Amino acid sequence: MRFKKTLLVNVYYQESGYGEKLNFPPIGLGYISEYLHKENIQHEIIDTGTGSGFEDVYDRIQYWKPDLVGFSLNSTCFPKSFTLIENVRKQFPNVKIVVGGPHVSTEGVKCLGDNIEIDYGVIKEGEIPLAYLCNGVSLENIPGLIWRTDSGEVIANNLQMFEIEDLPFPRYNSFDLSSYYTDSISIITSRGCPFLCTFCQQSSLLGKKWRGRTPQSVVDEIEYWYCQGYSSIHILDDNFAFDKERLIHISGLITQKEMKDLDISLVGGVRISYVNRETLLAIKRMGVRYISFGVESGSDKILKLIRKGCTVKQAEKAIKMAVDLGFSVRLFFIIGMPLETMEDVSKSFELALRFNVDEVRFFNLMPYEGTGIMDWINENDATLLYSYAEYMSDFKKFKQIPVFDSPGGMSIEEKAKALRMSKEIINTVEERRAEHSQRI
């Protein structure tokens, strides 16, 4: 065995704008932990999203003495994460360090190239590669592993798409579930996305191939949590409705179960091009009251440019159908796409107000590494006004500040104005909802 004791650290920052603490455990580390349990690999978890600070990480290493420390990294505040890693290296020179998560999947070898303190990285899924690493499989045979040869060259091994059915779902036995302030549990029933919406990193994260768990395993997981006292389940898939037959099957299995007050939310959003009456009815039958759609824009010109793969007409039809079927509907829009004009933004505002939805949200477009938008910025005469590290380091602040200037679209001032105006639309929808619930 190469590593006998592994400490896994979830790195969370309040500057991400998501509040002081996390309200449910990190699913990715949950899957990794479950797999390590299956393989009898000794490990512990520390989650800085539950109020633990960096000092707690150092203390735990000092006290528990792991020989491998793994960090789960988002791009959010990545410079700070690298400082944390440097501090661990300084204080514990003999500990080996491995990183994984969205930041590593999108940056690849750059993560190790830029950081001599990091010993290994894992691109995309971590369960099996990490178990191989701990168990002593030779480095060149670990799929997706980034490592250094004796001559110091950084190498990334080929990836392997794993069968997700072979991965047990997280039971969080190594987590302190009571430190998350929620009475709901979040689950993931599929991985990967074959679409290439230009603002989204998804295909570079867990792969372009959509892989869904079997209906039986999804329902087993829901039933497991229901029996543990969690009647509220959040499904966070990016593409839950990708396979219509699977969806209908899951719905059918749930309705056969005795889970009376089961309340499922499709938090991740349903792709508009999959919505039809049959799908929505199946979703409703399985106990879903709340559904969200990533509409992105009310302008066909923009939807085409961002390769969203649907039209405004399709969006209208899907929203109307969902509202008419009694779902609580939430719509997501983005402001600041290249070539977007104030006229396009007005169309998004109109669409946001057109139906009796419960909530709308407008996001300032932040270009991520590995997205079509970032390529577009690099290839066209567009300028990033802040460095990637800068805007990734303060999501809260950059929610309202445009981060790039591009020819042919809105000026910086217009983008900022559109973002300010979106607050009025959000308020109008909120007021309308409040009035409506008073009437009821």
Query: Which does residue 193 touch among ligand B12, ligand SF4, none (CB within 5 to 8 A, set by kind)?
Result: ligand SF4
Closest CB 167 distance from ligand B12, rounded Å: 8
Contact of residue 100 among ligand SF4, ligand B12, none (CB under 5-8 Å per partner type):
ligand B12
DSSP conformation class of 123: -
Q: Is 98 in the site for ligand B12 (CB under 6 A)?
A: yes
CB of 67 to ligand SF4, least distance (A): 37
Print burial letters for 112-124: b (CB count within 10 Å at least 16), e (below 16). Answer: beebeebbbbbbb
| Contact between 274 and 305 (Cβ < 8 Å) | no
Report which DSSP code applies to 268: T
Among 27, 137, 416, 421, binds ligand B12 (CB under 6 A): 27
For the CB of residue 195, give the shortest distance to ligand SF4 in the complex, in Å.
4
Closest separation in Å from C-beta 313 to ligand B12: 26
Are the beta carbons of 335 and 371 closer than 8 angstroms? no
Q: What share of the chain is helix, strand, coil (3-state, %, to 5)?
A: 45, 15, 40
Q: Which of ligand B12, ligand SF4, none has residue 122 at its interface (CB below 5 to 8 Å by kind)?
A: ligand B12
Query: Which residue, 71 or 82, is less far from ligand B12 as judged by CB?
Result: 71
In the complex, minimum distance from the CB of residue 327 to ligand SF4, in angstroms, rounded to a whole number: 19
Q: Which does 340 bind (CB under 5 to 8 A by kind): ligand SF4, ligand B12, none?
A: none
Binder to ligand B12 among 26, 215, 294, 338 (CB under 6 A)? 26
Q: How far apart are CA 129 and CA 123, in angstroms?
A: 9
E strand residue ranges, 386-439: 404-405
Residue 54 neighbours by CB distance under 10 Å: 16
Q: Which residues pair with 154 in a beta bridge?
A: 148
Residue 186, H or E segment: strand 184-187
d(CA 330, CA 357): 6
Chosen residue from 81, 189, 202, 265 binding ligand B12 by CB under 6 A: 202
Determine if 41 is a binding residue for ligand B12 (CB under 6 A).
no
Residue 28, contacted partner among ligand SF4, ligand B12, none, CB below 5-8 A by kind: ligand B12
Task: Report the interface residues with ligand SF4, using CB under 6 A.
Answer: 193, 195, 197, 200, 202, 238, 271, 294
Distance separating alpha carbons of residues 289 and 50, to the nearest angstrom:
29
10 Å CB burial of residue 435 (0-12, 13-18, 19+) is exposed
**SS3 assignment, position 23:** coil
Site for ligand B12 in 103-142 (CB under 6 A): 103, 105-106, 122, 125-127, 130
Pairwise CA distance, residues 115 & 73, whole Å: 14
Question: Tokens representing 198?
Answer: 């230009």
Nearest approach in angstroms of CB 238 to ligand B12 is: 5
* Dihedral angle, C-alpha 125, 129, 130, 134, nearest 10 °: 180
For residue 102, state whether it binds ligand B12 (rule: CB under 6 A): yes
- The item of ligand B12, ligand SF4, none sharing an interface with residue 195, based on CB under 5 to 8 Å by kind, is ligand SF4
Q: Is the dihedral of CA 209, 210, 215, 220 positive or negative?
A: positive
Q: Which of 2, 18, 157, 182 binds ligand B12 (CB under 6 A)?
A: 18
Distance CA 315, CA 295 (A): 7
Q: Which is nearer to ligand B12, 199 or 347 (CB)?
A: 199
Cα separation, 327 vs 257, in Å, equals 22
**Taking a C-beta distance cutoff of 8 angstroms, is the pair 22, 52 a contact?**
no
Angle between helix axes 342-354 and 412-439 (nearest 10 degrees) is 10
Site for ligand B12 in 338-397 (CB under 6 A): 368, 395
Taking the complex as a whole, the smallest distance from the CB of residue 399 to ligand B12 amounts, in Å, to 8
Does position 200 interact with ligand B12 (CB under 6 A)? The reply is yes
Nearer to ligand B12, 118 or 351 (CB): 118
Q: Does 201 contact ligand B12 by CB under 6 A? A: yes
Q: Least Å distance between CB 13 and ligand B12? A: 5
Residue 130 contacts residue 167 (beta carbons within 8 Å): no
Least distance to ligand SF4, CB of residue 318, Å: 14
User: Which of ligand SF4, ligand B12, none binds 103 (CB below 5-8 Å, type-dependent)?
Assistant: ligand B12
Binding site for ligand B12 (CB under 6 A): 8, 12-13, 16-18, 22, 24-29, 31-32, 70-72, 74-76, 98-103, 105-106, 122, 125-127, 130, 188, 200-202, 205-206, 236, 238, 268, 368, 395
